[in-house]
Structure formats: C-alpha cells, structure tokens
Structure 1
Amino acid sequence: MNVLVVNAGSSTLKYQLMDTKTGEILAKGSCERVGFSGGTFTHTAQGSPKVTDKVEFPDHKRAIEVVLADLEEHQVAIDGIGHRIVQGGWYFGDSALVDEDILAKIREVAPLAPLHNNPEADVIEYCLSSYPDLPNVTVFDTAFHFNMPEVARTYALPREVCDRLHIRKYGAHGTSYRFISRALAEMKHGAAERVVVCHIGSGASLAAIEHGACVDTTMGLTPLDGVMMGTRCGSIDPATVIYLQREGGYTFDEIDDMMNRQSGLLAVSGTTNDVRDIEEGVAAGDPNCTLAFDMFIYKIAAKVAEMACAMGGMDTLVFTAGIGEHAPALRAGVCDRLTWAGVELDHARNALRADGAWKLSRPDSPVAVYVIPTDEERMIADDVERIVSQSV
C-alpha cells in the first residue's frame, strides 16, 4: 500500500510517500515558512534529484496542494493518506479513519495544541475535498498515553475543574514510543519488560513502558512539561507564571512565548538551542554552554529515575530522536549519572556512529542501553494500512 504521510507543523509541512510492503520511500519533501514570506519547497520523487523551489505558502492548504500536484506530475500512486495529529485530547486512544465527526473533534481539542491541530485539520479538509475516494487516517501522538494509569495521568486540582476543562496528563511523541516499543520487542524477542525511552530532540520527553504499555511520561497537559528542551523551560514551579504576571507585568501571551520559545538551552546558554553548538561552546570553555549542557544531562537523568519509579525499576534504557541518536556525550553524561540504578555504559561503543540500532551497555550491565533510530513515518504508514483494512 502506498501511503502518503503528512506532518503539518506550525509553519512547515513535511511529507513522505512509503510503500508499506517494501518500506521503500517513493517520494519525500517539505514546505517551509508556511504562512510567512520566502517559502521553499524541497522535494524528490521516483528517484529524481532533490530540488528546492521558491514557493509562497500563505497557508497549509496551499502547501498540501503543491505537494499533491508534484506527486501527480511524477505519476506516483497514492492509496491512502496518514496525518500526524499532535493532540487527540480526551477522545482518541487509537488511530482513526477520518469522517466529519473525527475532523470536528480534532478541532475541538485544538486549544491543547493550537499551532499543530488546526493546520493539520486544514490539510485533512483539503485532502477530503480534492480526493474524496482516498482514505484519510489520523494518527495521534497522545494515543499511546491515553490509558496510562490514573495515578500518573491525574492532576491534583479540583476534580470539577479537571472534568470540565479536560485537564490531565496527555503526553506527546507517542507515535515514536510505539515504534521504539515495537522495534525493541523484535530485537529482544519480548524480553524487555520495563523500558525507559528518552526521545530527545529539540522537543524532548521520556516514557515508562511496561510490557509494551505506557505507565507514565514526562510531558503533561501540553508539551511544555518535563525536561528542559531547546527553547522550552520544562517543569518549573507553576507559581512562576503567577509571579511573572504579578511582579514582572508580563501578559499570559508573553509568558507563553517566553516559556515555549525563549527558554531551555537557548536561555541558559544565552546563544543557541542547538546541542551541537553548545558542545562546541563547552569545548571552548564557555561557562554558560557548560551549565546548559550539564543541566540538560541532569534533568534527563532525573526523569529517567522518575520513569523507572513508575515501573519499580527498569531493565532497558533507550535513546532516540535527533539528539538522543547523535549526541554520544549527552548519552554518556546521562548514563554515568545512573550507575546507581544498574546502568553500565560501554563508552567505546557509545562513541560509535553506527547505522540502525546498537547496544551501548557493557555485557554485564543490569540495565541494557540502546540507541534505536525512531521512524514515526513508518508507524503512521502501518497504521493507515491497519485502519483501512479493518474498515473494508
């Protein structure tokens, strides 16, 4: 089945067309600066050279229109479309075949992720109207966490308030966690029972996965919670918001922008949110970069311990996503802080830059440590095939 996987961000639209039988990528590309001037369309299909064109994208509907027109021009067949949805809210514990009701619910829960849900809903509307015979399937990042234990997902706020406003821990990166959980089960033949996965990219979270099911995760009502990230502050005293408003005179919108776009590694280093640049700063003796890097490691290691607590321990630790897969110094720092928990890193193996998954721990380590590259697009494509086959 040829599945077009679409990921619409706040100002981007990325896509990949995959043959689910062979895993071959038939086409891929991205639309950048959607909603801003100076847009670019980078694309390749059917083995053609990658091309970058200047294209203005006033909105996401225009972006998907350009993508579909390019695929038609290259005569690439599409059997179904899978849409990554950041927030499924209080409705979705699994992927779903799109109809008007599903689309309405995606918009209803959009206040929990307004920069992502609404653009994707716009893309879905365009796909449904332009290709009414193609099945569209929504794959929710929150679905993997939907049924986590009540003790983990509940906030200690008045029950009436939580019920009325649907306040709970929703988590994120669930599609990545599902892929990692599946890949690890295949690698270890189901032997990994209590797993902590560190999905560390510009946005970062961890999850506790026991026998394949999520029992806790670090992101909460929104993706701002948990570890510090590239530009997000992560978990802080919630009264900080009140203090900034009352004593600093900041508006809610200014605080939201500060905590989501001006904090994290960027704020502490004072220069960058890119871990590679921060590592260069550490090597050059920059004290702010050193503090940012050390804080990042400390926060991740502390959350690993918290996730392990949710399962009464851990037998496996996995690093994934852009930073998790490509920053050996960060992995070493996290693991060295966890020797008390049975994590024994093989530093020589950790320094490797191997393709695919590889094991980083010593042979006698009580906790096995792996790098496993994530593949959310593959997970989405497989979901489309599964959901469509169930609907026939």
Structure 2
Amino acid sequence: MPDTVLVLNSGSSSIKFGLFEISATEPSLLCKGLLDEHEAKPRLVVKGPAGEDLFETRRDAADTDGAHLFADVLGFIEDRFGAGNLRAAGHRIVHGGPDYSGPVVLTDDVMAKLSALTPLAPLHQQRCLAPVRAIGKIKPELTQIACFDTAFHHNMVPPANRFAIPRRFEARGIRRYGFHGLSFEYVAGRLAQIAPELIAKRTVIAHLGNGASLCALRHGRSIDTTMGLTPLDGLVMGTRCGTIDPGVLLYLQQHEKMSPEEVQHLLYHQSGLLGVSGLSADMRTLLASSEPTAREAVDLFTFRAAQAIAMMAATLEGLDGLAFTGGIGEHAREIRSAIGQRLGWLGVRIDAAANEETRERISDGGSAVDVFVIPTNEELTIARQCAALIRGRPVT
C-alpha cells in the first residue's frame, strides 16, 4: 500500500479528518470523516472520496474522554489500508506566533511554544492541540506535523502588520498575524489554475463562515488581511464581534464592572450574528427568518464585509478579482449578491443566474472585477504541506 498522511482539522464542536495518499505528486483522498465529541454519544463517521458510507461507530459518553475516537480512527485506517503505511498525522494549528512560517514536526518543545500562544486564540489553540496529545498517547512513534493558519500571512510587512502602539510591544510579538491561511492558500492555488491572468493582479479572497476574514492577494502572496493578533478582529462572524472600538472594552470593564473573562466570553461567544439578531449565529436561520433583528444582522454582515473588501482594495490600489469561499461564501447566494451590490461603485457586477446556480465564475460580462465562488479545501492544503515536509521539499 502507498504512504499516507492523516489530516485533522479541529473545529469548535467537531473534527474533520481525511486520509491522503502521498506517493504521487499531488495527494489524493482515500477517505474522509468526522469525529463528533459533543453529541450525547460521541461518534465517528467515515466516508469514501465520493461520499459513500464506509464506517460509523458511537461510544457511550461515560466511556470516553475523546481519545477513544482517535483510537477508532487509527484502527479503521490500519484495518482498511494496512498497518505501517501511515507516515504522519498533520494538524491544523490556528496560531503559529512569530516563530513558525511553515509546517513543523511537533516535538515537546514546539508543543510548549504553541500552548503558550493560547491567549492569542483562546477558542482555538487548545482545541487544535488536543488531538496531537491524544494521538501521541495512542501511537507515540507516529510523526505529527503542525500546519498553521497564520503562516500564509507571515511575510506581511509594515504598515499592514503593525498596530499603532508603543514599539516595545511589537518587539514582544504584538502585531497583526492573520488567520484562515490554509484556506487562502488553497483558493489562491485554484485561482492560479482557473484564472492565471489574475496572478499578478489585485485580488481579494473572502472566507465567509462562522469565522470570517479577507485576504488581499498579489502574486499569490498575502499582503493584507482583516484578522489581527487574534481571530477576533475584522468582519462580523457567527458569535464573534469583529472590529470594535477599544473604548467599548474599557467601558465594559470600568463601568459595567465586567471581568476580563466575562468580556472575552461576550466578544467570542455572544456577539456577531448571534448578538445582533438575538436569534442565531447560523446564517441559514437568519436568511430564513422574517424577524427584523435577523435582517439587521444580515445587513450588518454584508455592510462590514463590503466595507472591508474596499479597505483591501485600498491596500491593493484597485480590485481586479474577488473570490468567495467558506460556508457562507460558498452556499449563501443572497450574501454574495448583497455584497456585490454594495461594491457596484468598484465595478463589481454579479450575474444573477450564475450566482443562483453557484457557478465557478459569477461575474457578468460587464463587470470590471472577475468574481468567483471557490470551495475551499484546508485538508488538502495540510496534506500537501505534510508531503513536502516528509520528502524534504520546500513548502511553497
């Protein structure tokens, strides 16, 4: 059997995974699945590349701490694809801090450094590191590799990566890092394939989902993005506030007498679409609702997204291409249309029929900006990075 890499992409309530063959030039998917630890009975679902059912199991909540699910995954892989062919487990790690600009083997020292970055991504970092620890206990001889959401933005330079605070804090690593880099890397690669004429031009990728951010792209490189030191900054998100007046935070602590922990919980868990609508963090629910607050939350989402795309265009000194990706960007045609209408002054024209059918290119013939819908594939990006590291090749 060929060499394989197990890719794990940890979300807030579940973990997506994929097993990739890495013997060929391009990794190919052998199976994919979901580990859901938050149902009454935690479950593992495995499907084939075309979505066909391969395996499913559940465990009693009282009998598992989550690690059993990883043992089930590894056991399925050995039974189905043979023992001894798994070369590594690759993990999406949200924050790499100032030290990591590409994939790295996870040693005890690296794990300690990444764990220390938890205050910069309190919702995500430990969630991403937990599978590393679990697999390390089950299969300690297996190489594990970190692939970072911040790495794609690592070469951003001032002024784009700088805060207007005393430089002594910048020297301590307090700067804008950006996130969703694994998604942006994949979409940038797809754009190079389907619209190579855009490579040297001015393009914005809009990763819109429960977490959302933009990337200003030129020559396949990130030159600006909307998230900063943490994944809290930038666009309105499902439960996160995005950009906010720092004075609001001071007011909440000084006058509302909220503790830092209470403010953190408010900004990460109770704000965004959920906070404005008072109904849901799910864009599908809000689009289907007739409640005024739902419409207001959607309106704020598209307003801020269009505003930020214009900001990215200012960095790029123009706009030639716009690509939507992420759960909302890929599936919510109403959101794409609303954002396009707000950007009409920049020359964005979306073809209604193409947008309705979610075609790959949705701009009309008179649009000054080429507009695309490109499903992201973070797992494939991780597999590519792991394969390159294993083979000793440069990771581009």
Q: Same fold (TM over 0.5)?
A: yes
Corresponding position: 1:174 with 2:181? yes
Counterpart of 1:99, as a letter, is T
* Equivalent residue, structure 2, for 1:71: 77
Of 286, 309, 333, the match for 1:304: 309
Counterpart of 2:260, as a letter, is F
User: Which runs of structure 2 are paired with 1:1-392 in the superposition (5 Å)?
Assistant: 1-20=3-22, 21=24, 24-33=28-37, 38-44=41-47, 48-56=53-61, 59=65, 61-76=67-82, 77-128=85-136, 130-164=138-172, 166-192=173-199, 193-281=201-289, 284=290, 286-354=291-359, 358-390=360-392
**Contact in 1 for aligned 2:239/2:274 (Cα 8 Å):** yes
Q: Deviations for 1:168-190, whole angstroms, at most 9, x for unmatched residues? A: 11111000000011110111225
Please give the alpha-carbon distance, in whole angstroms, between the structure 1 residues aligned to 2:153 and 2:393.
Answer: 24
Q: Deviations for 1:9-52, whole angstroms, at most 9, x for unmatched residues? A: 45433211122447543222222236x86423223469654525
Counterpart of 1:334, as a letter, is I
Please give the alpha-carbon distance, in whole angstroms, between the structure 2 residues aligned to 1:111 and 1:379.
Answer: 26
Tell me, what secondary structure is at the counterpart of 1:151?
Answer: coil
Distance change >3 Å, CA 237–CA 101, structure 1 → 2: same
Q: Deviations for 1:273-315, whole angstroms, at most 9, x for unmatched residues? A: 111111111xx3x211111111111010000000111111111
Between the two proteins, the alignment pairs up a number of residues equal to: 384
Tell me, what secondary structure is at the counterpart of 2:86?
Answer: coil
Unaligned residue ranges in structure 1 (runs of 5+): none
Tell me, what secondary structure is at the counterpart of 2:198?
Answer: coil
CA deviation after TM superposition for structure 1 residue 4, in Å: 0.6
CA deviation after TM superposition for structure 1 residue 245, in Å: 1.4
Distance change >3 Å, CA 10–CA 231, structure 1 → 2: closer
CA deviation after TM superposition for structure 1 residue 125, in Å: 3.8
CA deviation after TM superposition for structure 1 residue 86, in Å: 0.4
CA deviation after TM superposition for structure 1 residue 122, in Å: 3.8
Percent identical = 37
Moved more, 39-48 or 259-268: 39-48
**Contact in 1 for aligned 2:96/2:149 (Cα 8 Å):** yes
Please give the alpha-carbon distance, in whole angstroms, between the structure 1 residues aligned to 2:391 and 2:156.
Answer: 27
Counterpart of 1:179, as a letter, is Y
**Contact in 2 for aligned 1:41/1:55 (Cα 8 Å):** no
Unaligned residue ranges in structure 2 (runs of 5+): none
Please give the alpha-carbon distance, in whole angstroms, between the structure 1 residues aligned to 2:303 and 2:34.
Answer: 34
Tell me, what secondary structure is at the counterpart of 1:184?
Answer: helix
Distance change >3 Å, CA 391–CA 178, structure 1 → 2: closer
Counterpart of 2:113, as a letter, is K
Q: Deviations for 1:329-385, whole angstroms, at most 9, x for unmatched residues? A: 11010011111111111111111144xxx1111123211000011111111101111
Counterpart of 2:71, as a letter, is E
Moved more, 259-268 or 62-71: 62-71
**Contact in 2 for aligned 1:360/1:369 (Cα 8 Å):** yes
Q: Deviations for 1:61-103, whole angstroms, at most 9, x for unmatched residues? A: 4442332123223345423221110000111111123333322
Large movers: runs of 4+ above 6 Å: none
Q: Deviations for 1:176-226, whole angstroms, at most 9, x for unmatched residues? A: 000011110111225332110000011111110111111111111111110
**Contact in 1 for aligned 2:313/2:319 (Cα 8 Å):** yes
Please give the alpha-carbon distance, in whole angstroms, between the structure 2 residues aligned to 1:42 and 1:378.
Answer: 19
Please give the alpha-carbon distance, in whole angstroms, between the structure 2 residues aligned to 1:242 and 1:268.
Answer: 20
Counterpart of 1:170, as a letter, is Y
**Contact in 1 for aligned 2:348/2:369 (Cα 8 Å):** yes
CA deviation after TM superposition for structure 1 residue 391, in Å: 7.0
**Contact in 1 for aligned 2:94/2:128 (Cα 8 Å):** no
Please give the alpha-carbon distance, in whole angstroms, between the structure 1 residues aligned to 2:34 and 2:318.
Answer: 41
Please give the alpha-carbon distance, in whole angstroms, between the structure 1 residues aligned to 2:211 and 2:60.
Answer: 28
Moved more, 41-50 or 214-223: 41-50
Q: How well do the aligned residues superpose, as a CA RMSD in angstroms?
A: 2.3
